[in-house]
Homo-oligomer: A and B are copies of this chain.
């Protein structure tokens, strides 16, 4: 099953059930938005699946001209892991920091009150902050009780999503060195338009990993196509880590961290910082700058037969006028 959220003027948007090919869609009369549905998923899933069958049989309307938002435009919790060892190794070079010694998954809590839609401009205050994209995957869970095991966590993975975790690199290292994690360095993320149930990926959903190539373009030029299978921890293990000392509220999104592969020389990267680290390793100094206002970033995860189950993120970086300043003068 494939779901999307249409702009209807509300903060949560309107939930749409979408045909597998992304061509047709319909809202459900009972489930106004995805946040409401995920809070009562066992009932909602049955209702939404019935509508999905109707759409597969020719129901619904063409999905054209709609403004699609993030599948969850806001939710109660966003916990982002860093599960690709290649990414961790390269970021250590990029940041000039010591290797992280930790026998558990790496994870931080980020802002969840707003996820940008797949085509929304992304506002930033200052290019000097080191604007970077981070292509990753995520899962949306229903309620997970404190102390749930990784094996039991698997059944709570209800939907899969594709995320751009926007990052401000110049602010990241000082915040990281405090030990408090990132606040200024991690503004709102973006999510690709379609959230899909795990069965939609077939064999590409394996061992709690989304085994798809994440194709990333920066200003229309290929940047990376790393595959999601190389996670050191699967999503079920990330969930168990997050739930070790807290109940996870329904609608929690758990992120994989930046998708990265050991053969980065062939597949490229899913963030600029990694490319800069590779340049540092090769030449002693980074050559690639971070993003400028007006730059664009496109991301889509592709199946072996060329389909994009999550649709695509295609956004432009924009200059945000600071509050209280008159930019017209």
Residues of A within 8 A of B (CB): 74, 76-77, 79, 82, 97, 100-102, 104, 106-114, 123-125, 129, 145-149, 152, 168, 171, 174, 176-185, 187-188, 241-247, 249, 252, 320-325
Provide the bound-state CA to CA distance between A180 and B173, in Å: 11
Are B320 and A146 in contact, with the CB atoms below 8 A?
A: yes
Residue of A125, A245, A252, A325 with highest tally of chain B CB at under 10 A = A245
Given contacts A76-B112, A114-B247, 12 further A-B contacts (CB under 8 A): A77-B113, A79-B183, A107-B180, A108-B183, A109-B111, A113-B252, A147-B323, A179-B179, A179-B181, A181-B181, A183-B242, A184-B245
Q: A114-B249, A168-B245, A187-B246 are in contact. Are A145 and B109 (CB under 8 A)?
A: no
Q: Which residues of B contact A108 (CB under 8 A)?
A: 109, 180-181, 183
* A interface SS class: loop
Q: Which residues of B contact A168 (CB under 8 A)?
A: 245
Task: Kindly report which residue of chain B lies nearest to residue A168, judged by CB atoms.
Answer: B245
What's the least CB distance linking A178 to chain B, in Å? 5
Q: Which residues of B contact A102 (CB under 8 A)?
A: 174, 177-178
Are A183 and B114 in contact, with the CB atoms below 8 A?
A: no
Q: How many copies does the complex hold?
A: 2
Selected contact of A123 from candidates B104, B124, B146, CB within 8 Å: B146
Q: Which residues of B contact A74 (CB under 8 A)?
A: 76, 249
4 A-B pairs closest in CB distance: A181-B181, A147-B322, A176-B179, A76-B113
Task: Kindly report which residue of chain B lies nearest to residue A246, judged by CB atoms.
Answer: B187
Are B324 and A246 in contact, with the CB atoms below 8 A?
A: no
Selected contact of A82 from candidates B174, B176, B180, B320, CB within 8 Å: B180
Q: Which residues of B contact A325 (CB under 8 A)?
A: 147
Are A178 and B100 in contact, with the CB atoms below 8 A?
A: yes
Are B112 and A180 in contact, with the CB atoms below 8 A?
A: no
What's the least CB distance linking A145 to chain B, in Å? 4
What's the least CB distance linking A300 to chain B, in Å? 26
Provide the bound-state CA to CA distance between A322 and B180, in Å: 28
Are B181 and A180 in contact, with the CB atoms below 8 A?
A: yes
Provide the bound-state CA to CA distance between A242 and B182, in Å: 10
What's the least CB distance linking A325 to chain B, in Å? 8
Are B245 and A171 in contact, with the CB atoms below 8 A?
A: yes
Task: Kindly report which residue of chain B lies nearest to residue A185, judged by CB atoms.
Answer: B245
Provide the bound-state CA to CA distance between A110 and B114, in Å: 16
Question: What would 30 A/B residue contacts be, using CB atoms closer than 8 Å?
Answer: A74-B76, A76-B113, A77-B113, A79-B183, A82-B180, A97-B179, A100-B177, A101-B177, A102-B177, A104-B174, A107-B183, A109-B111, A113-B249, A125-B146, A125-B147, A146-B323, A147-B320, A147-B321, A147-B323, A147-B324, A152-B323, A168-B245, A171-B245, A176-B179, A179-B179, A179-B181, A180-B181, A181-B182, A184-B245, A243-B323
